[in-house]
Amino acid sequence: MARRRWLEAPWLNWLSLGATLYTALAVGTRLQANFDAGRPPFPPGILDLDSLAGLILHPQTILAGLPYAVTLLAIIAAHELGHYFACRRHGVAASAPYFVPDPFFLGSLGGRVLVRGPIYSRRVLFDIGVAGPLAGFAVAVPALIIGMALSKKAAGIGDLSGLEFGGSLFVDFVQGMFFPALPDRDVYYHPMARAAWFGLLATALNLLPAGTLDGGYLVWAVTGRRKVHAAATLATLGALVPLSVFFLPWMAWAAVLFVFARRHPYAHDLAPLDVKRVILAVVALLIFVVSFMPAPIRYGG
C-alpha cells in the first residue's frame, strides 16, 4: 500500500514533466543550432551529453530549444490529457499523466496515463481509447504545417547525416505543399516540424490495433469480440516482422507487443457503439493510415 501511495504522489508527475522538458530543451537546442548553421540535425555520435550540460552552463540557449520542446510536449500532453479527461468524464479512476524523458535522441519517449479503475462499457472504453490520438493529432497537424513553413531547402543535407527520415502520407503531403518536387534529402526540417514528425509517429504507434494500445482498445470497443481483438493483435505482430526489413526496430516492437500487449480490454456492457462513435472510429482509422511510417528512420552513409 505504501508503494502504491508513493507511485501516486503528484510530485512524481511533476518531476517526470520537468525532467522531460529539460531533455526536450536539450535536444531542441542542438537541433536549432544545427538548423541555423546548416549542419545535419543528427550527425554521427547522436548520443551527445554536451547539450544536457550546455543548458546549465549556457542557460540563454534555452530559448533556442523552445520551438522543438514546446511542440513535442504539447503533442504528448494533448494525447495523454485526452485519455485523462475522458476517464474523468466517465468516472473511471486514472492517474495524471507521466512523461518519459529521453536525453539522447528525441527528448521524450512519450507519456502514460494509468487507468486504475474498471471500464464497464464498450462506449466508455471507446471514448477513452480514441480521445488521446484525436487530441494529439489535432495539435500535431498545425505544428507540422507551421514547422514546414519554417523549414528550408538545403541541397544534399540528407546525405550528410547518418540518418535518413521517412515520411507518412500526411507528412509527404504537407512537405509537397511547401517544397513541391523537391527530394526528401534536400529538405531541412525546422525543429518544430521535426517535433511534429515525431508526434505523428507516436500517434501511429499508439493506434496499432494490438493489445492494450489505443488501437487495441478501439478494436475491442468497435467489435466487442475477444476473438477479433486477438486476431487483430496477431495480424499486427505478423505485419511488423516483415516491415523490420525496412526498419529493424519493428522487430523489437513486435517482441514487446508479443510479451506485454497480448492482453485485451474487457467491458461488461456490450451495447454497440452509436453512429457518432462509429464515425470517430473511421476518423481514427484514417489518422492511422495517413500517419503510419513504414520506415521512419534509415541508417545511411
Position with higher pLDDT, 119 vs 291? 291
224: left (phi over 0), alpha (psi -120 to 50) or beta: left
SS3 label, residue 190: coil
| Rounded-to-integer distance, Cα 64 and Cα 103, Å | 17
pLDDT digits (tens, 9 = 90+) for 235-279: 998 899 898 888 888 888 888 888 776 666 667 777 888 999 999
Q: Which alpha helices (H) appear in 180-274, and where do they start and end?
A: 191-206, 214-223, 226-243, 249-260
pLDDT of residue 109: 87
Tell me: pLDDT of 2 over 50. no
Task: Indicate whether 118 belongs to any domain.
Answer: yes
- Is 159 a domain residue? no
pLDDT tens per residue, range 76-114:
999 999 999 999 999 998 989 999 998 777 888 888 998
Amino acid type, 29? T
DSSP assignment of 60-90: GGHHHHHHHHHHHHHHHHHHHHHHHHHHHHT
Q: What is the pLDDT of residue 263?
A: 66
Q: Tell me, what's the pLDDT at 226?
A: 83
- Please check the confidence at residue 61 and state whether its pLDDT lies above 80: no
Which residues are 102's β-sheet partners? 107
Distance CA 126, CA 221 (A): 5
- Per-residue pLDDT, averaged over 107-123, amounts to 87
Residue 153 is assigned to a structural domain of this protein? no
Q: Residue 269 forms beta bridges with which residues?
A: 121
Q: Bigger pLDDT: 292 or 2?
A: 292
Looking at the chain, the whole-number percentage of residues with pLDDT higher than 70 is 88
Mean pLDDT of 129-153: 96
In a domain, 198, yes or no: yes
Cell 530559448 belongs to which residue?
Answer: 63
Assess if residue 157 is contained within a domain. Answer: no
Region 139-144: mean pLDDT is 97
Lowest mean pLDDT across 55-59, 165-169, 195-199, 238-242? 55-59
Cα(175)–Cα(244) distance, integer angstroms? 25
Residue at 301 is within a domain: no
Burial class (CB in 10 A: 0-12, 13-18, 19+), 152: middle
Asked if the structure places residue 70 within a domain, the reply is yes
Judged against a pLDDT cut of 70, whether residue 298 lies above it is answered with yes
Look at residue 124 in the predicted model and tell me its pLDDT.
93
The reply to whether 42 falls in a domain is yes
Q: Write out pLDDT tens, residues 16-48.
A: 999 999 889 988 988 998 899 888 887 655 445
Q: Please report the pLDDT score of residue 279 as a whole number.
A: 96
What is the domain range of residue 78?
2-148+165-175+190-296
> What domain count does the chain have?
1
In this prediction, residue 140 carries a pLDDT of 97
Give the span between the Cα atoms of 9 and 12, in whole angstroms: 6
CA distance linking residue 203 with residue 288, whole number of Å? 7
Share of the chain above pLDDT 90, in %: 45
This prediction's pTM: 0.89
CA dist list (Å): 29 to 16, 145, 154, 200: 20, 21, 20, 21
